[in-house]
Amino acid sequence: MLFKGETILKGLFTIAELALTTATVLPFSRSARWWIRTFDFPRTQLALAGALVLGADVALRRDGRPSAQLVRGGLLLSILYQAYRIRPYTILAGNEVQGAKKPRPETTSSLLLANVKMDNRNSARLREIIAEADPDVILIVEADRWWESELACFAESHPFTVSRPQDNCYGMLLFSRLELIQPEVRFLIEDDIPSIHAVVKLPGGNEVEIHCLHPRPPVPQETAQSVERDAELIVVGKETKRKQLPVIVMGDLNDVAWSRTQ
* Cα–Cα distance measured from residue 262 to residue 219, given in angstroms and rounded to the nearest whole number: 18
In a domain, 101, yes or no: no
CA angle 177, 108, 201 (to 5 degrees): 50
Q: Is residue 195 assigned to a domain?
A: yes
Cα–Cα distance for residue pair 166/191, rounded to 1 Å: 12
* Domain shared by 247 and 133, yes or no: yes
85 with 110, same domain?
no
Rg (the chain; Cα; Å): 24
Query: 141 and 84 share a domain?
Result: no
Q: Are residues 160 and 246 in the same domain?
A: yes
Mean pLDDT on 247-255: 94
Residues 6+ apart with CB under 8 A from 192: 166, 168, 170
Judged against a pLDDT cut of 90, whether residue 215 lies above it is answered with yes
pLDDT digits (tens, 9 = 90+) for 216-245: 988 777 776 788 888 999 999 999 888 889
CA-angle at 95, arms to 91 and 100, nearest 5° = 120
Note down the domain range covering 180: 106-251
pTM value > 0.85:
no
Q: Is residue 258 part of a domain?
A: no
Please report whether residue 262 resides in a domain: no
Same domain, 130 and 228: yes
- What's the rounded Cα separation, in Å, for the pair 234 and 261? 7
Q: Which of 57, 89, 121 is the last residue in one of the domains?
A: 89
In a domain, 177, yes or no: yes
pLDDT band at 187 (very low <50, low <70, confident <90, very high): very high
Three-state DSSP at 35 gives: helix
> What b/e sequence results for 194-231 when a residue is b if at least 16 CB atoms lie within 10 Å of its CB, and e otherwise?
bbbbbbbbbeeeeebbbbbbbbbbbeeeebebbebbbb
pLDDT band for 1, please (50, 70, 90 cuts): very low
Alpha helix stretches (DSSP H) within 26-122:
34-37, 43-60, 66-86
Q: What is the CATH number of the domain that holds 218?
A: 3.60.10.10
* Contact partners, residue 247, CB within 8 Å, separation at least 6: 208, 209, 210, 211, 240
pLDDT per residue over 9-45, tens digit each?
788 899 999 999 999 999 998 888 888 888 999 999 9
The chain-wide mean pLDDT, for the chain, equals 90
As a whole number of angstroms, the distance between CA 40 and CA 59 comes to 30
CA distances from 24 to 27, 43, 83, 217 (A): 7, 8, 11, 20
164 plus 228 within the same structural domain: yes
Torsion of CA 104, 108, 109, 113, to 10 degrees: -120
Domain count, the chain: 2
For residue 260, being part of any structural domain is answered with: no
CB 252 within 8 A of CB 115: yes
